[in-house]
A and B are shown apart, each in its own frame.
Chain A
Amino acid sequence: MAEILRTEQLSMEFGGLRAVADLDLTINEGEIIGLIGPNGAGKTTVFNVITGVYRPTTGRVIFAGQDITGWRPDQITAQGIARTFQNIRLFNTMSVLENVMIAKHVRLKATLSEAILGLPRYRKARQEHYQECLELLEKVQLDDVAFEQATSLPYGKQRRLEIARALATEPKLLLLDEPAAGMNPQESLELMEFVQRIRQEFDLTVFMIEHHMEVVMGVCQRIYVIDYGVNLAEGNPEEIQNNEKVIEAYLGAVDTNA
Chain B
Amino acid sequence: MSLDIFLQNVANSITLGSLYALIAIGYTMVYGIIRLINFAHADLLMVAAYIAFYGMLIFTLPWYISFAIAIVLTTLLGVSIERVAYRPLRSAPRISVLISAIGVSFLLQNLGIVAIGARPKAFPRPEELVWNIQIGNISFLSLTILIPVVTIILLVLVTFMVKKTKMGIAMRAVSRDFETSSLMAVNVNKVIAATFAVGSALAAVGGIMWSMQYPQVDPLMGLFPGLKCFIAAVMGGIGSIPGAMIGGFVLGICEVMLVGFMPELSGYRDAFAFIVLILILLFRPGGILGENVVEKV
A: residues with CB less than 8 A from B are: 14-15, 44, 48, 53-54, 85
Chain B contributes a number of interface residues (CB within 8 A of A) equal to 3
B3 contacts partner chain A, Cβ-Cβ < 8 Å: no
The residue of chain B having its C-beta at the shortest distance from the C-beta of A47 within the complex is B297
B residues less than 8 Å from A15 (CB atoms): 291
* A48→B291 contact, CB < 8 A: no
* B291→A53 contact, CB < 8 A: no
**What is the bound-complex CA distance between A225 and B142, given in angstroms?**
70
B: residues with CB less than 8 A from A are: 291, 294, 297
B residues less than 8 Å from A48 (CB atoms): 297
CB proximity of A239 to chain B, nearest CB, Å: 31
* B297→A14 contact, CB < 8 A: no
CB proximity of B285 to chain A, nearest CB, Å: 15
The 7 tightest CB contacts between A and B, nearest first, are A53-B297, A48-B297, A14-B294, A15-B291, A54-B294, A44-B297, A85-B297
CB proximity of B243 to chain A, nearest CB, Å: 17
The residue of chain B having its C-beta at the shortest distance from the C-beta of A87 within the complex is B297
CB proximity of B281 to chain A, nearest CB, Å: 20
The residue of chain A having its C-beta at the shortest distance from the C-beta of B295 within the complex is A53
The residue of chain B having its C-beta at the shortest distance from the C-beta of A45 within the complex is B297
CB proximity of A88 to chain B, nearest CB, Å: 13
A residues less than 8 Å from B291 (CB atoms): 15
Q: List 7 A-B contacts (CB under 8 A).
A: A14-B294, A15-B291, A44-B297, A48-B297, A53-B297, A54-B294, A85-B297
**What is the bound-complex CA distance between A19 and B4, given in angstroms?**
58
B residues less than 8 Å from A44 (CB atoms): 297
**What is the bound-complex CA distance between A54 and B293, given in angstroms?**
12
CB proximity of A53 to chain B, nearest CB, Å: 5
B residues less than 8 Å from A53 (CB atoms): 297
A residues less than 8 Å from B297 (CB atoms): 44, 48, 53, 85
**What is the bound-complex CA distance between A3 and B149, given in angstroms?**
69
A residues less than 8 Å from B294 (CB atoms): 14, 54
B residues less than 8 Å from A14 (CB atoms): 294
**What is the bound-complex CA distance between A54 and B291, given in angstroms?**
17
**What is the bound-complex CA distance between A48 and B294, given in angstroms?**
12
**What is the bound-complex CA distance between A85 and B291, given in angstroms?**
27
**What is the bound-complex CA distance between A15 and B291, given in angstroms?**
9
The residue of chain A having its C-beta at the shortest distance from the C-beta of B291 within the complex is A15
CB proximity of A72 to chain B, nearest CB, Å: 14
CB proximity of A55 to chain B, nearest CB, Å: 10
The residue of chain B having its C-beta at the shortest distance from the C-beta of A14 within the complex is B294
CB proximity of B151 to chain A, nearest CB, Å: 32
CB proximity of A160 to chain B, nearest CB, Å: 21
**What is the bound-complex CA distance between A53 and B291, given in angstroms?**
19
**What is the bound-complex CA distance between A194 and B291, given in angstroms?**
44
**What is the bound-complex CA distance between A54 and B294, given in angstroms?**
9
CB proximity of A40 to chain B, nearest CB, Å: 13
CB proximity of B179 to chain A, nearest CB, Å: 15
CB proximity of B286 to chain A, nearest CB, Å: 11
**What is the bound-complex CA distance between A122 and B13, given in angstroms?**
60
**What is the bound-complex CA distance between A105 and B291, given in angstroms?**
36
CB proximity of B96 to chain A, nearest CB, Å: 15
**What is the bound-complex CA distance between A15 and B290, given in angstroms?**
12
**What is the bound-complex CA distance between A236 and B297, given in angstroms?**
29
**What is the bound-complex CA distance between A44 and B297, given in angstroms?**
8
**What is the bound-complex CA distance between A134 and B16, given in angstroms?**
64
**What is the bound-complex CA distance between A48 and B297, given in angstroms?**
8
The residue of chain A having its C-beta at the shortest distance from the C-beta of B294 within the complex is A14
**What is the bound-complex CA distance between A139 and B82, given in angstroms?**
51
**What is the bound-complex CA distance between A141 and B291, given in angstroms?**
47
**What is the bound-complex CA distance between A204 and B55, given in angstroms?**
77
CB proximity of B240 to chain A, nearest CB, Å: 15
CB proximity of B289 to chain A, nearest CB, Å: 14
**What is the bound-complex CA distance between A248 and B297, given in angstroms?**
28
CB proximity of B43 to chain A, nearest CB, Å: 34
**What is the bound-complex CA distance between A55 and B291, given in angstroms?**
18
The residue of chain B having its C-beta at the shortest distance from the C-beta of A86 within the complex is B297
